[in-house]
Amino acid sequence: MRTWLRRLAMLILIAILVLLGWLLWDLYHPTSLPAAGVKVPIRLGSSVDISIRELQRKGLLSSPWLFRLLWQIDGRPPLQAGLYLFRGRVDMTDVLGTLRAGRTQPLNFTIVPGMNLAQVYQRLQNAPYLARTDIPPAEQLPELLGAMAATQENAEGCLLPQSYRYVPGEPALTILRQSARAMQQTLQKLWPKRAGDLPLSSPYQALILASIVQREGAPQAQQQRIAAVFLNRLRAGMPLQSDPTVIYALGKAYDGHLKPTQMQVQSPYNTYLHGGLPPTPIAMPSEQALQAVLHPAPGDDLYFIAKDNEYHYSKGFTEHQQQIQRYLQSGTKNDG
């Protein structure tokens, strides 16, 4: 009887050792990954079970239950949301350590200076891993973006161009609100320090003009002087006569070339037909364009022309016509 019990105890011990060895081998045996690595999105708000299933689906966990046990023994740490890239040979402890530390790959949503709202919406639709189910219709956006946008007829111009970090599953509306808050803070910072005697009555008017300066496409070195031209026109009661405002008014009808008949498009955005500023911005201006409007170059210029990277300014119409003949007899022109 004793011999049988000893044998049974020995068999149980061997079984335990074999099981323990198998568990340790499974736990620490690395998985060889493809040369390019494996990307795993852990989405914002995902449960541990959902995260484990995603890791298993990507081939990183041979024993999901063992990974869960390891996670429990480790104190149930939060598995940080993010996009993770695993390379080389990885075991379960590596996976848990990476998720616990949040060593993620950056995901950035970038609003480029000069983008309009429709283009931002299109970029949101194409942003990888972003939750897009909460994107409101454009006409409902102003009331969702804070005080500055809420009082306007649309949210054009109210988003600050820059890059915004996000994690998989982040609501798109969160990025829109973050960028609107950044624009409002930028205006609140810049407006009190503006130059004196500007023909602008509010930060929003500065935003409108900055969007026009931005869409003129001039390099930063020219933006202050272009802003001065438009400000001088406002002081003189002259129409701004900016082609980008006509392009904005045309919308999808614009095919890359402004036709003479299109210059007569009936729209409050057509600054050839209507004096003063258009009703809203026409794009998202950068902080540099805002600075240019609020601190324009000195001078009395009322016109400018551009060819390639050269800009020429004039104070009167006769001089402006002479410069057109001199510099723009051939090629594409941009004049204001």
Mean pLDDT of 14-28: 46
Per DSSP bridges, beta strands 89-90 and 31-32 are antiparallel
Which of 148, 228, 231, 229 lies closest to 188, judged by CA? 148
Q: What pLDDT score does 332 carry? A: 46
Mean pLDDT of 108-118: 97
335 vs 43: CA distance, rounded Å: 49
Residue 266 has pLDDT above 70, yes or no: yes
Mean pLDDT of 19-25: 45
Q: Which residue has the higher pLDDT, 227 or 335?
A: 227
Least confident of 21-25, 64-68, 281-285: 21-25
Q: Please classify residue 155 by burial: count the beta carbons closer than 10 Å to its beta carbon, then call 0-12 exposed, 13-18 middle and 19+ buried.
A: buried
Mean pLDDT rounded to a whole number for the chain:
88
Residue 63 has pLDDT above 60, yes or no: yes
Confidence of residue 2 (pLDDT cuts 50, 70, 90): low
149-160: per-residue pLDDT in tens?
A: 877 888 999 999
Tokens 């993620």 belong to residue: 104
Q: What pLDDT score does 11 carry? A: 56
Mean pLDDT of 107-114: 97
Residue 195 has pLDDT above 60, yes or no: yes
197 vs 199: CA distance, rounded Å: 6
Tokens 């009661």 belong to residue: 237
Q: What pLDDT score does 29 carry? A: 55
Return the domain boundaries, the chain: 32-105, 108-188, 195-335
- According to the CATH classification, is domain 32-105 in 3.40.50.2300? no
Residue 178 has pLDDT above 70, yes or no: yes
Q: What pLDDT score does 238 carry? A: 96
The Cβ of residue 233 has, within 10 Å, a number of other Cβ atoms equal to: 22
Measured CA distances, 9 to 4, 17, 250 (Å): 9, 12, 87
Q: What pLDDT score does 42 carry? A: 96
35 vs 313: CA distance, rounded Å: 57
